[in-house]
Amino acid sequence: MERFEREVKTLHAALEQAQATLTSSKFARMTLKEHLAQRQRLLSEMENFKQQVLAVQGCQSVLRVPEEVVTSLSICRTAVSLQQEASRLQHTAIQQCNILQEAVVQYEQYEQEVRHLQGLMEEAHRVIQDEPVSTSNIQELQAQILHHEELAQRIRGYQEQITSLNSKCKMLTMKAKHATMLLAVNETPGEKQSDSDSGSLRKSCDSDGSAVTVRLPAWILFL
């Protein structure tokens, strides 16, 4: 039983750490690529959940607790709930990675378009600056003026497109980060432990004197 309690506490601690990472506000200061890289690392680390869940299941099976008794034991109910939460957390991390991956692809496309437009602007500026002014022929001068006005109009158009794309980049970043944060943790009435359950868990699971609070969140996906 002591080993079972230790494995349950270990799994609980790992889930709380992952949960805290998933909902941390510090990622708002990261770029989309940095945010995606962090989520991918977290998802990789979550592979350890499988071993921890198996350890909990193995300990529980060794106890050979009858199925009808499992529901009456706080530690067993907690073990089952934590296994379900591990699955939900992994699913949430996957959803966040998908959102961020799509956003990064779109962001890079916008960046590529901006670089292309900047190249066109630089070329138009170069033509205006390098083209010698014709003063000997009025018709050539008028044609040159019209050409320069056309180039200037193009440059203004490029600038407007770049401004629009920059706005799209900012909006895309904001929406992607907001969508990942909306994968938030909320306790639902059916998942919250009663005081008696919590007391039993502390007695059975906290032989070291530290309190264990089990939260069983509901993950709501806004995609």
- The answer to whether 204 and 74 have CB atoms below 8 angstroms apart is yes
Q: What is the pLDDT of residue 178?
A: 85
% of the chain beyond a pLDDT of 70? 74
**Segment 163-191, tens digit of pLDDT:** 999 999 999 999 988 888 886 544 333 34
Q: Which of 210, 218, 204 is nearest to 3 (CA)?
A: 204
Q: Which has the higher per-residue pLDDT, 138 or 173? A: 173
**DSSP codes, 110-134:** HHHHHHHHHHHHHHHHHHHHHSPPP
Q: Which has the higher per-residue pLDDT, 36 or 188? A: 36
Let me know if 219 is exposed, middle or buried by CB neighbors in 10 A (0-12, 13-18, 19+).
middle
Q: Which has the higher per-residue pLDDT, 52 or 134? A: 52
pLDDT at 116 over 90: yes
pLDDT interval class at 6 (50, 70, 90): confident
The residue whose two tokens read 């609070």 is 213
pLDDT interval class at 159 (50, 70, 90): very high
% of the chain beyond a pLDDT of 90? 26
Let me know if 74 is exposed, middle or buried by CB neighbors in 10 A (0-12, 13-18, 19+).
buried
Run of H or E residues at 11: helix 2-22
- The answer to whether 59 and 70 have CB atoms below 8 angstroms apart is no
Q: Which of 60, 98, 78 is nearest to 16 (CA)?
A: 78
- Across the chain, mean pLDDT equals 76
Average pLDDT on 18-33 reads 82
**Segment 81-106, tens digit of pLDDT:** 888 888 888 888 898 899 999 999 99
Q: What is the pLDDT of residue 62?
A: 67
Number of neighbours of residue 16 by Cβ within 10 angstroms:
15
pTM score, two decimals? 0.67
- The answer to whether 212 and 67 have CB atoms below 8 angstroms apart is no
pLDDT interval class at 51 (50, 70, 90): confident
pLDDT at 112 over 50: yes
